[in-house]
Amino acid sequence: MSTRPSRLLPALLAICLVSPAAAQTVGQQVAAQCATCHGQQGQSTSDEFPQLAGQNAQYLRKQLEDFRSGQRQHVAMTAIAQALTEPQMADIAAYFQAQTPVPHASDDTLLAGMGRYIYERGNIYSQVPACLSCHSATGAGSARLPRLAGQHPHYVMTQLRRFQSKERRNDSGAMAFVTQGLSELELRAVAAYVGGLNPQPIKVNTSKTLSDQKP
């Protein structure tokens, strides 16, 4: 799908933020506040929105914290994160981690093949490190590293561009370095490749608090 619903964001956001905060189950809260964009089972309604199904709970919580504090910037997500309490963030993150992710493979197998080369070996001629050195060979991720496997290529490309331009900087600069020498073709190729990966999600202990995760 290649819908571009950016103009709809303010309207969707208004709907989401007026929902009552009264005693709701996590599923009801997701339905009221997240499902319009991310889907009830974390399979987003457009490739503009990240698939959250199977994403690591601790990574999800960190992103919500970062949106809330302004470390990561996005108009809609900042407002949404600011409306959540810490326990709600933890519950929603655990809920999305438990959902089953679906892959989004590219039709262009030649492009995805090039992406696999970048993912596994990088590009030594332009100082692009191999993605697997951090994100693992399967792309399943970990508590500190996002799952890339199955993510919408369009969303992946957007984030790679944001890291490259340093608009997104909530990762201590790792991804700015990684994307520095990445060409447009390599960026598209690696996004096409990770979209088709489909390992089992790694289950992490979600009972730990964010501060426990800091080094």
Is residue 195 part of the contact set for ligand HEC (CB under 6 A)? Answer: no
* 210/79 Cα distance (integer angstroms): 20
Q: How far is the CB of 77 from ligand HEC (least distance, A)?
A: 5
* 32/24 Cα distance (integer angstroms): 10
Residues 88-147 that bind ligand HEC (CB under 6 A): 92, 118, 128-129, 131, 133-135, 145-146
- Segment contacting ligand HEC by CB under 6 A, of 20-28, 32-40, 106-114, 196-204: 32-40
Is residue 63 part of the contact set for ligand HEC (CB under 6 A)? Answer: yes
Is residue 148 part of the contact set for ligand HEC (CB under 6 A)? Answer: yes
Is residue 213 part of the contact set for ligand HEC (CB under 6 A)? Answer: no
User: Which of 50, 54, 153, 201 is the binder for ligand HEC (CB under 6 A)?
Assistant: 50
Residues 165-184 that bind ligand HEC (CB under 6 A): 170-171, 174-175, 178
The contact set with ligand HEC (CB under 6 A) reads 9, 12-13, 16, 33-34, 36-38, 48-50, 55, 60, 62-64, 74, 76-77, 80, 84, 92, 118, 128-129, 131, 133-135, 145-146, 148, 156, 158-160, 170-171, 174-175, 178, 190
